[in-house]
Structure 1
Amino acid sequence: MKQKESLVLYPSPGIGHLVSMVELGRHILKYYPSFSITILITPPPFNPGSTAPYIKHISSTIPSIIFHNLPAVEIPPESFTSAHHEAVLFDVVLRNNHNVEQALLTISETSTIRALIIDMFCTPALDVGASLNIPTYYFFTSGAVFLSFFLYFPIIHSTTTESFRDLDSHFHFPGIPPVHARDFPKPSLDRADMAYQGFLNNAMRLPESKGILVNTFEALEPQPLKAISDGLCIPNGPTPPVYCIGPLITDRKGTNGAGGGNTSASIDCLTWLDTQPSRSVVFLCFGSLGLFSAEQLTEIAIGLEKSGQRFLWVVRNPPTEDKSWRNLAPPEPDLDALLPKGFLDRTKDRGLVVKQWASQVDVLNKESVGGFVSHCGWNSTLEAICAGVPMVAWPLYAEQRLNRLFLVEQVKLALPMDESEGGFVSAAVVEHRVKELMESEEGKAIRERTLAMRDAARAAMAEGGSSRVELARLAELWSQG
C-alpha cells in the first residue's frame, strides 16, 4: 500500500507565525488535497497570548491539517541578557532540534515526507532536514522587500565593525529604497546582542534551503524580486529558487478567537460598521504585539476626537512594568482609566473602541471602512491591500519600518505617521494624518492605487495567475520527491 505524501510545516512560537503557516497549509490543500499537512507546535517560552482557541477552531474546520505538539523546551532565564524576544526564539528552536527530529521520524512511519517547510526563525531545522534527507524549504512570511534586506544583510554586516544603532547612515540593499540604520529591525541593531547573532546566522544560512516560498505576488514587489532572482542579494553564492505564492491571508470568519479577544464584542463592532456610511470609518489596529504607553494612547484619542472622523479603534493595555520577553500579553484594558475623561461619551456617535481584538479581515472588508492606521505587519498589509483599503503606516517592531519604507516610498499605498525622536506621535500628527487619508486628494490617490493593487492580487491568485503557477511548480517538485 502506497504511503501518504506529507508536508510538514514548522512555525516558530506565536500566533502570527502560526496563522501564516496554517494559511499556507490551507492554500496547498485547496488545490492539492492529496497531500497531508502536519504543523509542528512549539510551546512558547513566554506568554504571547494563547493559540489554543485558534488551533481548536482550525482542527474542527479543516481536519486534514494535523497539529503535532512538541515537548516544551526548558530555557534557563539566567542565560539571557537580550531584551529582544527574538533572541529567545532563536535559542528555543536550536534546543528544539531533537524534538523536531523525533516528530519527523514518527510522521515518517505512516507517510512519506516530501518537504519540511520552516519559517525564518527555525533555521536550525535545516540540519534536521539534511540528516533525514528531507528537502527543506523556507516559508518567508514577510514580503520580498524584507527578503532582499535579509539575504543581503551579511554583506552589509561585513562593511562595518560598528553597531548599526550607532550609525546615522543610509544603506543600499538591492531592489529597495535606501534604508536608514534606524529603520533596520531592532534585533539587527546591536552587534553585541544575542539577537543580532541569531539574525545574522539565519541570514547566512537561508541560501542552504531548497527554495523560499514568499507570501507576496509579483505585481506588488517587482523591483526586489528581480534583484533577488538576478543574484544581487547573494553575490558570493547561488540564490535558491524563490516562489511567490501570495497573498495568503486569513479567510474571513477564519480566526474568531485567534487573538484571544472578546468574540461578541468583535461581532458587535461588525454590526456597528454596517450602520456607517460608505468609506467613512478609519480603522486603527496594531497587531498581536503592538502596545502603546498610556501617554501615547491619550494622544491617539485626542487626535481622533479632533479629526472629526468616524473611527473603530482596537485598544490594548500598555506594556506591563516587567518589560521582559516573558510578558508579552498584557491584561484587558480599563478604557475609562486609560482614555481621556469623557472621550468615550463625546465620540460615541461616530466612534467605537474595542478592547484587545477585532476580526481584522472582516473589518477591512466592510463597505464603511475607508482607511487603516496600521503597524505595517506583513499580514495586515496584505489584508488591507486585498480589501482595497489605504493605510497610514505606523511601524512598531520587527521588520515593520522596512514595510513602511516600501509602502510609502516604493508603491505609494500609505501615508507615514511622523514620529518624534523617541518614536512618540503627537495628537496633532494623528489628527492631520487621519484627515489627510480620509479627505485629501493625496488620500484619494492612495485609495485608487490600493484598489488597483487589490485587483492585481486577485489576478495573481486566480487560475493561471502568477501565484497559482508558482504553487503548481512546487507541488510538482514535491510529488516527484
Structure 2
Amino acid sequence: MEDTIVLYPSPGIGHLVSTVELGKLILTHQPSFSIIIFITDAPYNTGTTGPYISRVSATCPSITFHHLPTISPPPKFTFFEDLAFEVPRLNNPNVHQALQTISQKSKLKAFIIDFFCNASFEVSTSLNIPTYYFYTSGAFVLTIFFYLPTIDKTTTGIKDLSYVEVPGAPPLSPSAFPEVFLHRNSVGYKNFVDTANNMAKSSGIITNTFESLEPRAVKAISEGKCITNGPTPPVYYIGPLIASNAKTNAKSGSEDECLTWLNSQPSQSVVFLCFGSNGVFIEEQLKEMAVGLENSGNRFLWVVRSPPTNDKASSTSSEPDLDALLPEGFLERTKDRGLVVKAWAPQLDVLSHDSVGGFVTHCGWNSVLEAVCSGVPMVTWPLYAEQRLNRVFLVEEMKVALPLDESEDGFVSSAELERRVRELMDSESGKAVRDQVKAMRDEARAALAENGSSRVALERLTESWKQG
C-alpha cells in the first residue's frame, strides 16, 4: 500500500493552484508519495479549473484529482465567506466516503485542508486521520486567527473596539478586518471562530510564508502567545510557494503583447497595476485611475477588467470595452508610455521583468509573495477578504509598500493615485521601500536554499509522515 497525502482546497482557481503547488513541493521531498486532491464544483467556478486540472494531470502523474459530487449551495448568503464555508460543509458525507475508500487502498498519512474546508475537520478526526490546515496567507494574519477565540471571549465584539491588540501584530483598526468579523452574531463570524479553535487542535499548520519575512509574528506564535487556551500546534513555514507557471487560461496573445512591450521599456521604469481575478472596479473609478496615471507622467502597464454587474449568478465577465470605460482619447494620448490590456496578464512574468519598477496591488497574499520574490515595491489598494490586514503588514511591519488613501466607500481619487505612483517611482521614501523589498527577495531565496528555513521545515514535516 502506497503512502498517500490527501489535499482539500476550497473552490476557486487561486486556492487550487496553491494546493497543487504544495502537492508538487511535497513530491520533491518524498517522490514515493501519492497525492490526491479533492475537487469541489461551486457556483462561482469561473470555468478555468477544468483546463488547469487537465494540464496538471498530464505533467504530474503522481498528483490525481478526485471530483466530489456536485452539491447545491443555499440560494441566499449574507457574506461571501458564508458560502465559502457552506459548500465544503455540505460535502462532508462525500468527503467521509472518499477518505474511507482511500484508507482501504493506501496508507493515508495526512489530510491537508484549506481554511474554508474547516467542516471536514470533524470528519477526518473521527476517522483518526492526522489533519493539517494549509494556511495560504502569511504568519501575520495567522496570529490574528489564532487569537480570534480570545478576542471573542474577552470583548463585546471587534467593531466596539477603538483598536485591536494581537500578539505579534501592530495595533489594528476594526476597519482593517474583513466585514464579516464585525458582525459577531453572523454565521460567517462563528465559522471563523470555530475554524480557529479547530486549527489549535490540528496536527499542524502549513503556512505559505518564510520566517525572516515575518519574524515578529513567527516569534509570537512560537512562544505560544496567540493561542491562550492550550498548546500551539506545530507551524511549518514552507514558503514562498509560487507557481512557476501559473497559467490557468490560454491567453498567449495578452502574454506576448505584455512581454514584448516591456522589452522596449527602460529598466525599472514601469508601474504595473493588477488586482487579481476578482478585482473589479466601477466605471467611475476606472476613469479616475486613468486620469491619475496620465497625470503621473509615468510608464504603466494596466490590467483592466469589466466593471461588476448586478447579476450575481454571472461567473465570467465580458471582455472590457476600453474605449467606453476609459476617458476619451486616453489610450491615444498615453500610447507611447502606457499599455492597457484586457482582463489578464502573466503576472509573475511581468513582475520578474527588468522593466517593472513598481506594483499597484490588491494585496492578495499570492501577489504579495510574487512581488517580494521579484524585488518589486508596492502601492497597496486592498479590495476584500484579509487584504486590508495585509496592507497594515506591508506598510507598517515589512515596509515594502506605500498606502493609498481612500474615501469611506473605498474610492481612490486620481490625485491620490498620481501622488503615490510618483512617490514610489521617484522619491526617497520610494527608494526606501525598493531597497527593503530587494533585501526580502534575497531572504526568500535563502529560505528556499539548501538548509534554508523553509526547506528544513518541509523536510521535517514530510519525514514525520514517512516515519509515522
Task: State the TM-score bracket (shorter-chain normalisation).
Answer: over 0.9
Is residue 199 of structure 2 the alignment partner of residue 210 of structure 1?
A: no
Q: Deviations over 1:263-301 (max 9, x none)?
A: 311221111111111001110000111111111111111
Q: Does 1:116 align with 2:128?
A: no
CA 1:81–1:141 in 2, change beyond 3 Å: closer, same or farther? Answer: closer
Whole-angstrom distance in 1 between the partners of 2:419 and 2:58: 45
TM-score, structure 1 normalization: 0.95
Post-superposition offset of 1:73: 1.3
Percent identity between the aligned chains? 60
Unaligned 5+ runs, structure 1? none
* SS at 1:225 equivalent: helix
Aligned-partner residue type, residue 348 of structure 2: V
| Matching residue of 2:442 | 455
Aligned in 2, Cα 1:263/1:7: closer, same or farther, shift over 3 Å?
A: same
Q: Distance in 1 between matches of 2:340 and 2:251?
A: 13
Cα displacement string for residues 136-159 of structure 1 (whole angstroms, at most 9, x for unaligned residues): 001100000110001101111223
Report the number of matched residues.
468
Query: Is contact 1:217–1:247 with CA below 8 Å preserved after alignment?
Result: yes
Q: Out of 102-111 and 408-417, give the one that drifted further.
A: 102-111
In the TM superposition, what are the counterparts of 1:20-31 in structure 2 within 5 Å? 20-31=18-29
- 1:194 maps to which of 187, 193, 196: 187
Conservation of the 8 A alpha-carbon contact between 2:29 and 2:462: no
CA contact (8 A) 2:140 2:393 kept: yes
> 2: CA distance between counterparts of 1:412 and 1:202?
30
Inter-partner Cα distance in structure 2 for 1:51 and 1:357: 16
Query: Does 2:87 correspond to 1:92?
Result: yes
Question: Which residue is equivalent to 1:440?
Answer: 427
Q: Does 1:150 align with 2:145?
A: yes
Per the alignment, in what secondary structure is the counterpart of residue 217 of structure 2? helix
Q: Out of 239, 246, 251, which is 1:255 matched to?
A: 246
Q: Does 1:301 align with 2:290?
A: yes
Task: Give the structure 2 partner of residue 38 of structure 1.
Answer: 36
**2:176 is aligned with 1:183:** yes
Is the partner of 1:352 in helix, strand or coil?
A: strand
Deviates more, 1:260-269 or 1:366-375: 260-269
Q: Aligned to 1:353, what secondary structure does the other structure show?
A: strand
1:399-439 deviation per Cα after TM superposition (whole angstroms, max 9, x unaligned): 11111100100110000011112111000000010111111
Paired position in structure 2 for 1:243: 236
Name 1:67's counterpart in structure 2.
65
Judged with a 3 Å threshold, the aligned counterparts in structure 2 of structure 1 residues 108 and 288 are, in CA distance, closer, same or farther, namely: same
Q: Report the CA distance between 1:342 and its aligned residue.
A: 1.0
- The more displaced of 138-147 and 45-54 is 45-54
Contact 1:289 1:329 (C-alpha < 8 Å) held by counterparts? no
1:107 aligns with 2:106: no
Range with greater deviation from structure 2 (348-357 or 382-391): 348-357
Moved more, 50-59 or 371-380: 50-59
Matches for 1:260-339 after TM superposition, within 5 Å: 260=249, 262-322=251-311, 324=312, 326-327=313-314, 329-339=316-326
| CA positional deviation for 1:168 | 5.9
2:417 matched to which residue of 1? 430
Task: Give the root-mean-square deviation of aligned CA atoms.
Answer: 1.4
Mapped to 1, the partners of 2:211 and 2:39 lie a distance apart of: 31
Q: Secondary structure at the match of 1:213?
A: strand
What corresponds to 1:397 in structure 2? 384
Amino acid paired to 1:357: W
Distance 1:168 1:31 in 2: 46
Give the Cα–Cα distance (whole angstroms) in 2 for the partners of residues 188 and 40 of structure 1. 28
The answer as to whether partners of 1:8 and 1:116 remain within 8 angstroms in 2 is yes
TM-score, normalising length: structure 2: 0.97
SS in 1 for 2:107: strand
What is the distance in 1 between the residues matched to 2:192 and 2:321? Answer: 37
Q: Take 1:327 and 1:250, find their aligned partners in 2: how far apart are those partners? A: 28
Shift of 1:391: 0.4
Q: Is the 8 A contact 1:114 1:134 kept in 2?
A: yes
Q: CA deviation at 1:76?
A: 3.4
Distance 2:267 2:139 in 1: 33
Paired residues of 2:204 and 2:233 also in contact (CA < 8 A) = yes
- Structure 1 residues 283 and 49: CA distance shift in structure 2, 3 A: farther
Match of 2:363 in 1: 376
Distance 2:358 2:315 in 1: 28
CA distance in 1 between partners of 2:325 and 2:71 (Å): 37
Shift of 1:49: 4.8
> Which blocks of at least 5 consecutive residues in structure 2 are unaligned?
none
Q: Is the 8 A contact 1:142 1:214 kept in 2?
A: yes
| 1:344 is the counterpart of 2:344 | no
Contact 1:54-1:255 within 8 A present in 2 as well? no
Q: Which among 148, 155, 158 is matched to residue 160 of structure 1? A: 155
1:191–1:330: structure 2 CA closer, same or farther, 3 Å change rule?
farther
CA contact (8 A) 2:204 2:234 kept: yes
1:440-477 Cα offsets, whole Å, 9 max, x none, are 11111111111110000000000100000000110111
Q: Which amino acid aligns with 2:36?
A: T
Q: What is the SS of the residue equivalent to 2:212? A: coil
One-letter amino acid of the counterpart of residue 400, structure 1: Q
Matched-pair contact (CA < 8 Å) for 1:316–1:355 = yes
Separation of aligned partners in 2, 1:244 and 1:39: 21
The CA distance in 2 between the partners of 1:354 and 1:117, in whole Å, is 37
Instruction: Tell me: CA distance 1:51–1:143, structure 2 relative to 1, closer, same or farther (3 Å).
Output: same
Counterpart Cα distance in 2 of 1:45 and 1:194: 20
Instruction: State the one-letter code of the partner of 1:113.
Output: L
Task: Say which is worse superposed, 350-359 or 189-198, in terms of deviation.
Answer: 189-198
Q: Distance in 2 between matches of 1:439 and 1:49?
A: 41
Instruction: Write the deviation string for residues 360-417 of structure 1: whole angstroms up to 9, x where unpaired.
Output: 1111010101000001100000000000000001111111111110010011000001
Q: 1:5 to 1:81 in 2, by over 3 A?
A: closer
Alpha carbons of structure 1 residues 158 and 261: separation in structure 2 relative to 1, 3 Å: farther
Deviation at 1:238, TM superposition (A): 1.1
Tell me how far 1:187 sits from its aligned partner: 2.0
Q: Could you tell me how far apart the structure 2 residues matched to 1:147 and 1:246 are?
A: 14
